[in-house]
Every structure is written in structure tokens, then in C-alpha cells.
Amino acid sequence: MNEIIAMILAGGQGTRLGVLTENVVKPAVPFGGKYRIIDFTLSNCVNSSIYTVGVLTQYRPRVLSTHLGVGRDWDMDRKNGGLFILSPYAASTEGEWYKGTAHAVAQNIDFIDQFSPKYVLILSGDHVYSMDYNEMLDFHISKNADATISCIRVPLSEAHRFGTVITDNISRVKEFEEKPKRPRSQLASMGIYIFNWPLLREILIKDSRDENSSHDFGKDIMPNLVSQKAIYAYEFEGYWRDVGTIDAFWEANIDLTRSMPALNLYDPNWRFYTHSAEMPPAFFGKEAKILNSLTSEGCIVNGTAESSVLFQGVILGRGSYVKNSVVMTNVKIGENCVIENAIISENVVVGNNCQIGIGENIPNEKYPNIYNSGISVIGEYVIVGDDVRIGKNASIGNFLNMEEMKVKEVPGGKNLRVDGLA
Amino acid sequence: MKVLGLILAGQKGENLGKLTNRRASAAIPVAGKYRAIDFTLSNMVRAGIRKVGVLTQYNPRSLMDHLGSGREWDLDRKNGGLYILQPYVSETSQLWYRGTADAIHQNITVLRRGEEDYVLIGSGDHIYNIDFTPLFKYHIATAADITILTKSSAGYDPAMYGTVKINENNRITYFVEKDKENPGDMINLGVYFMNKKLMMDLLYSTVPNGKYDLVKDIIIPNINGLNIMSYEFSGYWRNIKKSLTEYKKVNMDMLNPDILNELFSPQRKIYTKLKDLAPPKITSTGSVTNSIIADGCIISGRVTNSVLFRNVNVKAGAYVEDSVIMEGSVIEEGSRVVNCILDKNVTIRSEKSYVGYEEPLVFEKWQVV
């Protein structure tokens, strides 16, 4: 018997990350030089001594499953418990795609039952944070709660983007408001819950029979529960980011390059583990200039990098200048390029004399709610070619060969896809 | 074809002074994140060898810690895998290994029991990246009894190596150990490939007679009796334990992109124990040129022409030049380190200056100066 087991929801697409999540599920998006987003949640589990973890996958799980393997990189390849990837399945009478977060867990009741846990911790694989779940569990136990929801204090002006909770003076939740227009509380739900398993089991079964429910923890389960059961809000004080937009994703990466960032990757007592490629240490050439940046193993830096995150195996050519950018694994950048405010996905090849992130900051014409913060995004495996100019808020679809397409310019706010510029 | 790998890793490496006070030379850190033994071990694993015995003797703690169950080299296996072969006490003997041949002889059970046809003997001190499979094929094609890996002696001091001469068929006709007067024109790289049964016969007929050295007592006396072939290697090869200067030079060689690419080619990887540290960070006051920086480092000072291992902290205003700084060392504000080798976890206090002149200055593990 395990006292607590964790279920990580890792099936969401994350539509607001544009081309970054076209081919990979959001938890598998690379982050912070060598990690993928789910590493933070998984490492928090391991560091909190939670070694039985189910990962619920659905949208494009290939990269995620390859990354996780049997969980060996997180010390989760264990005799008892360990890491389990739980995909949607077909059965004789039922079997279907996960219809919502609660439905995903409900479909795996048998899985949880085999460990007969006292508590179940529901987590999201989309967040970047460091958190000791034991403190939240202690809170849950000390309040004798039926369920506990982890919250973070946000400015009132920001609260409309979150699900907020309204509590009384002993932290008991009185009301839920999902993305309120006029927020009454600063406490935003982090999408992290602890339930007593017998209770959760019962309500999941009830919810899955309810045809009017959208089977979502935040929308259906919690608001219905609040009047009947003792739900408490645990206030988390620490670093937590939902990197759900291009801007937030970029910002959270660039934050790491500043001095004393809130997310400490170097804490020997709270390490973040990942599945990383085996590469030699980073090499800096004679002409390398580097300021306020992260560089990873396998990097070969001969140009200049400023306030940027260079992932593993990035090659930066002579005379090239990269500023405020996120450059992912195995990207090759030629000579004399200028790249500013860009996110360049894995395995992109940029030729010589390219300019990326130039011109006016006009929002994207086709996807104004995705590319709107002045950041240019290039999808994975794109071949950019020589002398190419790419504007602000532009996006280049995955796997495009711009050399073959003979595209030398993508103006600001435009998108390059298989069928051409739009 | 099944091959048993044996790695000789029991030596102290006298010439490395303080660096090998507490570790065998095979466990010495090199090139930012590796240990010397990683190279031979990875070369063997990539050649399809699934059983590797590591012969240890001199202070093996750090070597054992590094190797663990062999999992980083895919040697944690149901069948075969990694065998640590230490000297031991038994009913009939309680002896340290008296030489390389004796070390293998004392573990002859591993040879007798295994189903392998061949043995490949290497050393834990050598830094090189090789694909052994052409050597295996060459051995069989030439019907050799023993195949020895060699390299032209240009650039090496023959007084420090075993040297050989070969005839027009690459057969070794002359073999001397560290001979200054009459050296051969190729050096012996300490890699021997032979039929396992032959290896056992040779050991049975020499070791019980008080002859304990693989080269002096087994290979050289059989130079005419056996068909000993030379297989020439043209890539980068260095022996880490020849001298401190050599040790430093090997590390500095990594700053040469050609050598770096050859040793760490993505097609022929060198595996090591992973630690999952965060990517190195260069802050607003830091600068790095012509250097290698491993994971976990935080650089706020200036670093040039140096190799920094994991978790090194160079504080603001500090200056590091022409040095090898091992894992966990801290160089505090305003100090200067030039031509030094810092072993693990050394702390250089602020405003200090240390400059090595002819030989690099060496600081021992955990020193605070």
C-alpha cells in the first residue's frame, strides 16, 4: 500500500503555443536548456518521495513517451510502483478518448485501486515550478480535509485569467470562480489537488455518468464538491508558472538567464532530473562572447550570445549575435546572423547572414492571440537557408525547407506554412 | 563472435602526484565530465562487447563509485555486464596482483566460465575514441595469434612507451619496453586482442613460474613463436598517467575543435556517469573564451583557455587562465588562477593569486587556500 500516489495530466495540446505544440504535447516542450516541461513536475514528485506516478497521455504522446521511457532518469524504474504511462484505451463495452481531466482519471480507477492509496495527488504536466508536495499533504491532513486545492496569490488585475477560490478565515473554500470577469479573490488555483481516494473514487464514478458534465476537475468536480465537502485551499508560496502562451514560455526561459532567478536550477537539495542526450561539455571558441546566458552540453559557441538560453548541441557560428532568444536542442546557426526575441525549435538549421526578429512589432494577422508579443517562432527541423529575413510575430511551420520553397523573407506578423505565406 | 573485454585499472599512476593520492589513475577526471576509464569502456561497449571485467587494485573507491552497476554503459545486464575484479583472499592465496598477467591469471575463472571466443585487453588510462570492429576483422583475416594496437611514434617520447618494429606484412618483429637507445618506430597502445584459449594457455604457462607481466613475460618472449600483428591507429591517443604536464595537455587538447570532434563524435559516443546538473550559466559580469565549461557551473568572473568541470563557481572579479578546474571547486572574488590544476572541491579564497610556472600548480581535493 502506498500512502499517496500522483496522477499527472499530460494530454493537453496547449493550443496557444502555436507551432511549438503542433507535433508534441505541451508537457514535452523543451524548457530551460536541457529539460522538458514535465521534468519539473516529475522531479518535484521524486524530491517529495512520491515514487508511484501515473502519466495520463493523449495528444501526440510520441516525444513524451520516448522522453519518459521507464522513468529511469527520475529513479522511477522501481520494483514496487514507479512510472506508468496511461494512454486512452478501448474496452469491450466502453473505451474512448479522455473527454476531460476528470474523465481521464476516472478511466484509470483500476490502476489507482491496485495501490490502494489513502490520498491521490492530481498534478498537471504543463507547469514549471518547484514544490514540496509533502507540505501540502501535511496541510491536507492537519485540516482533516476531504480535498485540498493548491493556490497561488496573483495580482487582482491578473486573476481573471485563472480559476479563483474564495475562502474563509480558516482557509476553507467557500466558492469557486472560473476565469471571473470581476475577480473577488487573489487566490488562483494551480490545478493541483489532493483528494482522499475513497471520496474521489466515488465522485469520479458519479461524474462520468453525468451527461451534462464536461468531466473537468476545475469546471465540474471542484465547484460541485464545495458545498458538500470540506475543501481547503493550501496557499503555495514559491515559483510557479503556467507557460501556456508564447510570451509566458519565452519569459520563463529568459528569466533563468537573469541573476538570482526565482526558479533555482542549481539547488543541490532540489534537483531537476531529465532524460538528456550524452554530449561533451559546452565549448567556447576564441571569439566567443557570452553574457547572462545558459549554454548546455554539446554547445559550440563562436559568436555572441546575450540573455539567451542555448539548449544542448547548439552551434553558434562566427560573427552571429543572439539576444533574448530561446534556441533549442541541436540548432545550427551559421555566420553573421542577427537573432533577437526568437524561439527556435529543435534541429533547425539557420544559414549565414540571416536576420530574425526584425522590423515593426505588429501582431500576427492570422493568429493574433498566439503570436502577439513581438517574438518570432520557428518550428522544428526547419531549414532556413542563407540571407533570410524574418519579422517580429512571424511563425514558420515545422519541417519546412525554406531553401526549397525559395522563401527569403517572412515579414512581421506573417506565417509560413506548407502552402506558402499567409 | 563474442568478445570478453578486460580493462587494467589497478595502477596508481605515480607521475600524477597529488591527483592520484586518493584514486586510481583510471578514475582521474578528464575533459570536463569524464573519467579516464570512460574512453576504453565506451569503445568496448560500442564494439558490441557485452561483458567487461575491470581489474582494480589501487584505491578503487572513486572508480567503483563511478562505474556503479555499469548502467551508464548499458552493462547492467541479466547476462554478462560489468565485472569488478579485485584482488581477494582465498584458501590458497592472499596476494595483491603482482603484475598485469598475474591480475588476469587470478581471475582466470572469468575466462574459463565465459562463452566468449576472444579477449580484448585495454587500459583504463588511455584517452582515445576507436571503432574496434575493423581490428577484430583484421585479426581474423590475417590469422593472427595476437593483434596489438599501435601508432606511429611521431610526437611521443619512445623512452616512455613500449615500441615495436613491423615487417612488410604488419607482423611485429621487434618489441622493447621504454628503450631510449634502440626504440622501434611505432608505439604500443596497450590494446591486445587474442583468442581466449590462447590467452589462458599463455597465462597457465607463465604466471605459475613467477612471471607476472603481460608485455615483458608473455608478449615479448613469444615475438617469434607467435604471429603477433600490428593494427595501426591513426587517431588521437594519449596516456593520461605519464606526467602532470601530459595530464594537463590532454585536457587542453579538448580546446582544439578537431580533437574535440574526434573524441566526442555523435556517431561514436563516449558514455559517462550522468548527473543531470543544470546548464552552465554565464552571468552579466562573466566572460568565457576558448574554454570548456561543464554543467552546473556558474561563471561570474573571466575564464580563458581553461577546462572547467561540473559545478565550478567562478565568482565576480576572479580570473582563470590556462587551468584545469575539477568538479565543485570555487574561485572566490578577485582571485587569480593561472596554469593550475585544481582537484575536486578546492576553494581559492578571495583576492589570492596562484600562478604555476614550469609545471602546473596542483591543489589537492578539498584544499582551501
pLDDT in tens, B269-324: 999 998 889 999 999 999 999 999 999 999 999 999 999 999 999 999 999 999 99
Query: What is the 8-class DSSP label of residue B349?
Result: P
B288 to chain A nearest CA, in Å? 7
On chain A, the residues whose CB falls within 8 A of the CB of B269 are 278
Q: Stretch B319-333: mean pLDDT, rounded?
A: 96
- Over chain A (422 residues), what is each successive 10-residue block's mean pLDDT? 88 87 93 96 95 93 91 89 89 77 92 95 95 96 96 91 91 89 92 95 93 88 90 95 92 92 92 91 95 94 96 96 97 97 97 94 92 95 96 95 94 93 86
pLDDT per residue over B70-79, tens digit each?
999 999 988 8
Which of B266, B276, B289 has the CB atom closest to A274's CB atom?
A: B276
Identify the closest residue of chain A to B296 by CA–CA distance: A266
- B266-271 long-range contacts, CB within 8 A, separation 24+: B266/A279, B268/B46, B268/B129, B268/B131, B269/A278, B269/B42, B269/B46, B270/A278, B270/A280, B270/B34, B270/B38, B270/B39, B270/B42, B270/B129, B271/A278, B271/B38, B271/B41, B271/B42, B271/B45, B271/B72, B271/B73, B271/B74
Q: Could you tell me which chain B residue has the CA closest to the CA of A264?
A: B278
**pLDDT (0 to 100) of residue B18:** 87
Residues 6+ apart with CB under 8 A from B182: B176
For residue B311, give the chain A residue with the closest CA. Answer: A266
Closest by Cβ to B284, choosing from A32, A291, A296: A291
Burial of A239 (0-12, 13-18, 19+ CB in 10 A): middle
* Longest pairwise C-alpha distance within chain A: 68
Task: Mark yes or no for CB contact B290/A309 under 8 Å.
Answer: no
Alpha carbon A306 to its chain's center: 24
- Closest Cα of chain B to A289: distance in Å? 7
- Closest residue to B280, CB basis, from A282, A285, A288: A282
- Residue-wise pLDDT tens digits, B186-222: 999 999 999 999 999 999 999 999 898 999 999 999 9
Residues belonging to chain A with any Cβ–Cβ distance to chain B shorter than 8 Å: 32-34, 73, 256-257, 259, 265-266, 271-274, 276, 278-297, 300, 309-311
Task: Write out chain A residues lying below 8 Å of B292, CB-based.
Answer: 280-284
ipTM: 0.84
Residue B235 pLDDT grade (very low, low, confident, very high; cuts 50, 70, 90): very high
The three-state DSSP-derived secondary structure of B41-90 is: HHHHHHCCCCEEEEECCCCCHHHHHHHCCCHHHCCCCCCCEEEEECCCEC
B190: left (phi over 0), alpha (psi -120 to 50) or beta: left
Q: Do A285 and B271 touch (CB under 8 A)?
A: no
Quote the pLDDT of residue B78: 84
Query: From the CA of A236, how many Å to the nearest CA of chain B?
Result: 24
Report percent pLDDT > 70 for chain B. 99
CA pseudo-torsion sign A150, B279, B45, B266: positive
Mark yes or no for CB contact B33/A296 under 8 Å: no
Q: How many residues does chain B have?
A: 369
Say if residues A120 and A197 touch (Cβ distance below 8 Å).
Answer: yes
Query: Residues 77 to 116 of B: which have CB under 8 A from any A CB?
Result: none
DSSP A54-104: EEE--SS-HHHHHHHTTSGGGT---SSSEEEEE---B-SS-B----SHHHH
pLDDT at residue number A95? 66
Residue B267: partners with Cβ closer than 8 Å, 6 or more residues away = none
Quote the mean pLDDT of chain B.
Answer: 92
Mean pLDDT is highest, among B5-19, B80-94, B233-247, for B233-247
- Residues with Cβ within 8 Å of A217's Cβ and at least 6 positions away in sequence, in order, are A101, A102, A122, A191, A193
- Which of B281, B284, B309, B325 has the highest number of chain A CBs within 10 A, making it the mutation to test binding with A? B281
A285 interaction partners in chain B (CB closer than 8 Å):
257, 289-290
Sheet containing B287-289, strands listed edge to edge, beginning at the edge strand earlier in sequence = B287-289, B302-304, B319-321, B336-338, B353-355
pLDDT tens digits for range A205-230: 999 898 888 898 988 898 889 889 99
Q: What is the mean pLDDT of chain A?
A: 93
Q: Which of B283, B290, B295 sits opposite A284 (nearest CB)?
A: B290
Residues A285, B284: C-beta atoms closer than 8 Å: no
What is the reported pLDDT for A260?
Answer: 86
**B129 — contact with chain A (CB < 8 Å)?**
no
CA-nearest residue of chain A to B292?
A: A283
Query: Chain B, 265-294: which have a CB under 8 Å from a chain A CB?
Result: 266, 269-272, 274, 276-284, 286-294
From B283's Cα to the closest Cα of chain A, the distance in A is: 4
**DSSP class of residue B258?**
H
| pLDDT for A94 | 67
Which residue of B276, B279, B291 is in closest CB contact with A284? B291
Q: Say if strands B302-304 and B319-321 run parallel, antiparallel, or are unpaired.
A: parallel
Query: In 10 A of CB B323, how many CB atoms?
Result: 28
Per CB-CB distance under 8 Å, the chain B contacts of A69 are none
User: What is the spatial distance between Cα B100 and Cα B214, in angstroms, rounded to a whole number?
Assistant: 5
Determine the Cα–Cα distance for residues A325 and A392; give it in Å rounded to an integer.
Answer: 12
pLDDT value at B52 more than 70: yes
